[in-house]
Structure 1
Amino acid sequence: MTETRPAAIRRELGDFLRSRRERVTPQQVGLPSTGRRRTPGLRREEVAVLAGVGVTWYTWLEQGRPINVSAHVLQAVARALQLDDTERRHLHRLAGSSTPKAEPSECDPGLTAAFQPVLDKLDPFPACLQTPLFDVVAYNRAYRFLFTDMDLIPPGERNCAVQFFTDPDWRSRYIDGDLVAARMVARLRAEVGADLGAPAAAGIVDDLRERSEEFARLWARHDVLPQLYETKRLDSPLVGQLQLNFVSTSVPETGHRMTVMTPADESTSLRLTQMAELTGATARM
């Protein structure tokens, strides 16, 4: 095939390969240690040997040169670098050997109208509809008051990643903020993949790299994570500590996901009910 990947994506591919190569030691892949090394992890020559490809070809791949890349060879490189399933998919998407996802619409009124009754029925459990880039396009009353009053945030700024990395008050609501930060960036990178050159994806990543040193540092690690079913601890401004199970499901044909937060313990269940009582009058205004 003819290489048509944009230069920015080829650089992203090279950076990702390099970051993973530096994490694998010779001992992990059965190679003898040859004394002190100038760089951590494997050398390019060693990856090439393990993958059964030419050293020059692999070097060009890391350098972001426009060369031919087959799915079969990518699989060999992935094995050599001991990539997990999520990292393998990320590698294939960057190299263009799988179909990139279409860029989701920012806010389809029809979609919002269809999902709003569903979200409302989930009260007092916080629930929202998000794009893969963490834009919140619809939410119920419980989610509205979970971190702050979402209605007071302009629609164009209702992005969980932007709020998390730029608003100290929003960030403080997460008790395990550092862990959440690392996972959020890794999730965002996995979602963006080869679509990094798309205007929406490039815009949010560039904006966050400029506004947040923490985001820029985590983004440079090239970590990728799948969608996780995880428990997070939040400090609600209204009712105190909440322990919530975050469960997300994809909405077919849209690229969006619906996230529902259910109580992980009885205390949280009681506090969500209390929050619903406290915010009932405000929500009706």
Structure 2
Amino acid sequence: MNDIATQANPLGVYLKDRRSKLDPAAFGLPAGRRRTPGLRREEVALRANISPTWYTWLEQGRGGAPSADVLDRIASALMLTEVEREHLFLLALGHQPEVRYRKDEGITPRLQRVLDALNPCPALVHTATWHIVGWNRAATILLTDYGALPPEERNVLRFIFLNPSVRAAQEDWESVARFVVSVFRATTARAGAAVEVQPLVDELTRRSPDFARMWSDNDVSSHGGGVKRLRHPVLGPLALEYSAFAVDGRPDLSMIVYNPATPADTERVRALMQAPPATSP
């Protein structure tokens, strides 16, 4: 295909290219004699549960823009990776797909090594539902020993509203709690996880009048960055600058890095991390 055709219909070119790279045998389809490599158009259409005519039009640059649902089905039919799916949406609609909620899958060893390299700065990775799935040793020492908790209890909203120690450690608990609730509402809606988080919302509404009050306000906000002020049981008052980052290739995950606000605070945290663990009498 010449350059002019490619520029005129980049979506069709991409679909045809991805289709040509699939092995029919991997899908239980007879290889037989095929004029071109990969799957046929009608085979992709069948896997995506769309009309073969409509799929053909997409490859030919006809029929208008597809819906996000159709693109998702085509992405699944073509076995696209997350970055390939994102590229498909950019070509077809001009924007990235919405974040998709995933059941907690944990993090890769590579991402864990990134967290560990950030010591003595506490760092966390959480899902769109604010479930903690990764942390480093500094986070364990300064924030919460997440590894000592059952996986289902590692949720930021549970810490803020149901854990008295976490509540007491916040210099301005009301502001922190309101902020967490507003970001939680926004991220879960963006990820399409409203159904999945409803049991947690119902539980917190029953058990915490404060949560019920804040949830009813319907406030939303983005995470961004700021300063977190803690009352640490050993270090005393402590200021931590924080920033939130998207995890490349995992739009359902966010990383939060807390940086001690002053060199002196950094040294205090480092010294605490190097101190031998306390022994029971």
Q: TM-score range by the shorter chain?
A: 0.5 to 0.7
The residue that corresponds to 1:13 in the other structure is none
Partner of 1:247: 243
Q: How many residues align?
A: 181
Q: Which of 165, 169, 173 pairs up with 1:173? A: 169
Q: 1:187 to 1:112 in 2, by over 3 A?
A: same
Instruction: Please give the secondary structure, in 1, of the residue aligned with 2:257.
Output: strand
CA offset at residue 252 of structure 1?
Answer: 3.3
Preserved contact between residue 234 and residue 241 of structure 1 (Cα < 8 Å): yes
Partners of 1:122 and 1:193 lie apart in 2 by 30
Q: Distance in 2 between matches of 1:126 and 1:148?
A: 10
Corresponding residue number in structure 2 for 1:105 = 103
Among 133, 137, 140, which residue is 1:137 paired with?
133
- Contact 2:244–2:254 (Cα < 8 Å) also in 1: yes
Contact 1:251 1:257 in 2 (8 A): yes
For structure 2, the 5+ residue unaligned runs are 1-95
Letter aligned with residue 242 of structure 2: F
In the superposition, relative to structure 1, how do residues 196 and 155 fare at CA in structure 2: closer, same or farther (>3 Å)?
closer
2:217 corresponding residue in structure 1 = 221
Q: Residues 206 and 121 from structure 1, CA distance in 2 versus in 1: closer, same or farther, beyond 3 angstroms?
A: same
User: What secondary structure is seen at the aligned counterpart in 2 of 1:134?
Assistant: coil
Question: What corresponds to 1:272 in structure 2?
Answer: 269
1:129-208 to 2 correspondence within 5 Å? 129-193=125-189, 195=192, 197-199=194-196, 201-208=197-204
Q: Which residue of 1 aligns with 2:260?
A: 263
| 1:231/1:245 contact within 8 Å kept | yes
Letter of the 1:186 counterpart: S
Please, what is the CA RMSD of the aligned residues? 2.0
Question: Distance in 1 between the 2:145 and 2:248 partners?
Answer: 29
Is this contact kept in 1: 2:128–2:187, CA < 8 A?
yes
* TM-score relative to the length of structure 2: 0.60
| Deviating more after overlay: 235-244 vs 168-177 | 235-244
Q: Write out per-residue CA displacement over residues 111-143 of structure 1, whole angstroms, 9 at most, x where no aligned residue.
A: 332211111111111011111211111111000
Q: Does 1:236 align with 2:262?
A: no
Contact 2:129 2:193 in 1 (8 A): no
Distance apart, 1:235 and its partner CA? 1.4
SS of alignment partner, residue 178 of structure 1: helix
- Give 1:172's aligned amino acid: A
Query: Which amino acid in structure 2 is aligned with residue 223 of structure 1?
Result: D
For the 8 Å contact 2:246–2:253, the answer to whether it is kept is: yes
Structure 1 segments of 4+ aligned residues over 3 angstroms from their partners? none
Deviations 1:36-65 (A, max 9, x none): xxxxxxxxxxxxxxxxxxxxxxxxxxxxxx
Read off the aligned partner of 1:191 and give its amino acid letter. Answer: T
Does residue 88 of structure 2 align to residue 116 of structure 1?
no
Offset of residue 281 of structure 1:
5.0
Distance (Å, rounded) in 2 between the aligned partners of 1:210 and 1:281: 38
- Determine the C-alpha separation between the residues in 2 that align with 1:100 and 1:207: 27
Match of 2:68 in 1: none
Between Structure 1 and Structure 2, whose CA radius of gyration is higher? 2
Instruction: After superposition, give the CA deviation of every residue in 1:161-209 in whole Å (9 maximum; x if it has no partner).
Output: 111100111111111111101111111111122635332x222222221
1:76-114 alpha-carbon deviations (Å, 9 max, x no partner):
xxxxxxxxxxxxxxxxxxxxxx96531133133xx3322
Contact 1:239/1:274 (<8 A) preserved: no
